[in-house]
């Protein structure tokens, strides 16, 4: 399900399946996109932040056009205890690899991988970033 | 043949892309078809231009012919220059029948009386466009063929498109000459500038696809499904909002291609309004600020902002009014709205 912001329109509540993973996309070229994500985060129930939220930062290939500071992204990561993935959508290889990573995360969050919980995987990701 | 004329022709030919040289020389018509056959257009441009100059020497070309070639070049490649738009006005209701010969005579006479050292050339095109090329000299020096102004005047309209030379001081004289020659009373510079001459014409002649109120708008769903390669597993939560944005965008910008402008400039002459604790608003003088939007194609990029999710729809009217108001330079003063530049005569 693609949405431009949260909260989701209530008219479609009855059509929506259970939500296992929320990926917030931040376009590093647009401060507007960061603001939008920050505003939408307020509408997310706290239980999602136990490993079912991640931030996907796009547009990282174009260093000259960065409008969002890395600090701002890290702040989100720390406040909301959720991992950050970086990708460049315009490169097919990176796009496919990122999709595969997200899919893997989704499988874990949906409980399809026995022995790995969303929470443990999320903290694994965050710890590996800090190193 | 004069040295300067030869050099000028050589340099003009060098400007033309190699594949276009033959066509342009044919348009020029100064060299005969037989002469053109003798030219080798597959060699380096340097050599081609030397050969052309040699043929022109044989035909005894003078500055008039050289200027004609230059006008043709600028007519085919107008986007290499920056154009400003001027609007002429007359007080009465009289619609004089436009006499081309009379216009040219008056123009030449008026300009040459004021400044002896000028080269003036005219060329008419099918769409009632009169191209005027002026090379400027000084009271003591012969005209410099490389310091030229170009004027495009559509005689059936009050609009003149001017690509001024680097010598800014010649502009008032040029304007006065135009007014006198065309039997108008006044001329003012519109706040509209661009490299793309055709787009400027589209804007002032209202030739671009304008939006009209439709009572029965086509439902957008029809168009979306057929044109996009939609994967049915992707569900758009905000479909309604997306459709609203597309609809609003279409109402504002219309369906057709936008005229091509490279920038929009907003000069702010408003007082600074800020957080009261900062005490900056104690300053009563206007806060001088210039905001400039640049783009290879400004209006198309503005049109794509809201659908791309980079801005809210509808966009600020300051941006969307550009084609309707036929201006891309604005002064924003205090209070509601903004005031356009005042009517000025040179």
Over chain B, what HEC string results? Answer: CCHHHHHHHHHHHHHCCHHHHHHHHHHHCCCCHHHHHCCCCCCCHHHHHHHHHHHHHHCCCCHHHHHHHHHHHHHHCHHHCCEEEEEEECCCCCCCCCCHHHHHHHHHHHHHHHCCCEEEEEEECCCCEEEEEEEECCCCCCCCCCCEEEEEEECCCCEEEEECCCCCCHHHHHHHHHHHHCCCCEEEEEEEEECCHHHHHHHHCCCCCCCCCCCCCCCHHHHHHHHCCCCCCCCECCHHHHHHHHHHHHHHHCCCCCCCCCEEEEEEEEECCCCHHHCHHHCCCEEEEEEEEECCCHHHHHHHHCCCCCCCCCCCHHHHCHHHHCCCEEEEECCCCCECCCCCCC
Contact A32 B310 (CB under 8 A): yes
Per-residue pLDDT band at B211 (split at 50, 70, 90): low
Kindly tell me if the per-residue pLDDT of B134 is higher than 80: yes
Q: Tell whether A17 lies on the interface with B, counting CB pairs under 8 A.
A: no
In this prediction, what percent of chain B has a pLDDT beyond 90?
52
- Domain positions in chain B: 3-76, 83-195, 243-333
Interval B76-86 mean pLDDT = 94
Kindly tell me if the per-residue pLDDT of B341 is higher than 60: no
Per-residue pLDDT band at B282 (split at 50, 70, 90): low
In this prediction, what percent of chain B has a pLDDT beyond 70?
86
What sign for the dihedral angle of Cα A81, A86, A92, A97?
negative
B-chain residue closest to A2, CA distance: B236
- Identity of the residue in B234, B235, B309 whose CB atom sits nearest the CB atom of A4: B309
What mean pLDDT is reported for chain B?
A: 85
| Other residues' Cβ atoms within 10 Å of the Cβ of residue B75 | 17
pLDDT of residue B337: 47
Reference B115, options B91, B155, B142; nearest CA is: B142
Per-residue pLDDT band at B280 (split at 50, 70, 90): low
C-alpha span between A29 and A65 (Å, rounded): 6
- Domain positions in chain A: 18-128
Interval B180-203 mean pLDDT = 93
Distances, alpha carbon A1 to alpha carbons B27, B215, B225, B239, in Å: 60, 34, 18, 11
- Identity of the residue in A8, A30, A32 whose CB atom sits nearest the CB atom of B237: A8
Kindly tell me if the per-residue pLDDT of B223 is higher than 60: no
Kindly tell me if the per-residue pLDDT of B226 is higher than 50: no
Domain B243-333 fold is Ubiquitin-like (UB roll) (3.10.20)
pLDDT of residue B346: 26
B-chain residue closest to A35, CA distance: B310
Question: Encoding tokens for residue B228?
Answer: 């996009």
Q: Is the peptide bond before B117 cis (omega within 30 degrees of 0)?
A: no
Asked which of A25-34, B26-35, B212-221, B273-282 is least confident by mean pLDDT, the reply is B212-221
**In degrees rounded to 5, what are phi and psi of residue B81?**
-120, 160
The tens digit of pLDDT for each residue in A40-95 reads 999 999 999 888 999 999 988 877 888 888 899 999 999 998 889 999 988 899 99
* pTM for the predicted model, two decimal places: 0.77
- Chain A closest-CA separation from residue B127 CA (Å): 44
Q: How is domain B83-195 classified at the architecture level of CATH?
A: 2-Layer Sandwich (3.30)
- Beta bridge pairs of residue B290: B267
pLDDT of residue B281: 56
Q: Tell whether A9 lies on the interface with B, counting CB pairs under 8 A.
A: yes
- Identity of the residue in A2, A5, A33 whose CB atom sits nearest the CB atom of B235: A2
CATH class in words for A18-128: alpha beta
In three-state secondary structure terms, A55 is strand
Question: Which residues from chain B sit within 8 angstroms of residue A2, using beta carbons?
Answer: 234-238
The tens digit of pLDDT for each residue in A122-131 reads 888 877 766 5
């Amino acid at each position: 399900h693609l949405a431009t912001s949260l909260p989701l329109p209530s008219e479609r509540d009855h059509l929506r399946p259970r939500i296992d993973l929320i990926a917030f996309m931040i376009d590093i070229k647009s401060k507007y996109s960061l603001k939008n994500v920050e505003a939408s985060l307020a509408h997310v129930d706290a239980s999602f932040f136990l490993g079912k939220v991640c931030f996907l930062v796009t547009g990282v290939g174009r260093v000259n056009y960065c409008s969002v500071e890395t600090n701002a992204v890290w702040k989100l990561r720390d406040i909301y205890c959720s991992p950050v993935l970086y990708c460049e959508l315009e490169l097919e290889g990176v796009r496919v690899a990122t999709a595969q990573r997200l899919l893997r995360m989704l499988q874990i969050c949906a409980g399809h991988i026995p022995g790995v919980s969303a929470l443990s995987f999320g903290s694994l990701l965050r710890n590996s970033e800090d190193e | 043949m004069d040295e300067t004329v030869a050099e000028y022709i050589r340099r003009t030919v060098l400007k033309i892309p190699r594949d276009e040289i033959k066509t342009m020389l044919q348009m020029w018509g100064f060299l005969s078809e037989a002469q053109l056959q003798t030219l080798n257009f597959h060699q380096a441009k340097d050599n081609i231009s030397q050969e052309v100059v040699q043929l022109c020497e044989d035909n005894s070309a003078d500055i008039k012919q050289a200027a004609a070639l230059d006008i043709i070049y600028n007519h085919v490649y107008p986007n290499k220059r920056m154009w400003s738009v001027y609007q002429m006005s007359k007080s009465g209701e009289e619609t004089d029948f436009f006499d081309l010969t009379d216009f040219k005579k008056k123009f030449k006479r008026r300009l040459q009386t004021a400044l002896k050292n000028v080269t003036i050339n005219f060329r008419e095109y099918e769409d009632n466009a009169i191209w005027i090329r002026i090379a400027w000299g000084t009271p003591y020096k012969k005209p410099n063929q490389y310091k030229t102004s170009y004027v495009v005047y559509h005689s059936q309209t009050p609009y003149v498109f001017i690509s001024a030379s680097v010598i800014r001081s010649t502009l008032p004289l040029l304007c006065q000459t135009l007014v006198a020659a065309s039997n108008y009373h006044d001329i003012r510079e519109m706040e509209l500038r661009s490299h793309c001459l055709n787009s400027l014409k589209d804007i002032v002649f209202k030739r671009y696809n304008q939006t009209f109120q439709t009572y029965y708008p086509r439902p957008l769903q029809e168009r979306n499904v057929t044109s996009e390669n939609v994967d049915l597993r992707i569900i758009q939560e905000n479909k309604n909002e997306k459709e609203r944005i597309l609809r609003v965008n279409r109402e504002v910008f219309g369906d057709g291609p936008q005229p091509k402008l490279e920038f929009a400039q907003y000069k702010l002459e408003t007082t600074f309004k800020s957080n009261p604790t900062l005490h900056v608003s104690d300053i009563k003088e206007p806060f001088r600020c210039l905001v400039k939007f640049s783009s290879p194609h400004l209006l198309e990029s503005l049109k794509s902002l809201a659908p791309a999710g980079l801005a809210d729809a509808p966009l600020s009217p300051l941006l969307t009014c550009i084609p309707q108001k036929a201006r891309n330079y604005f002064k924003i003063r205090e209070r509601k709205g903004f005031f356009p530049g005042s009517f000025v005569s040179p």
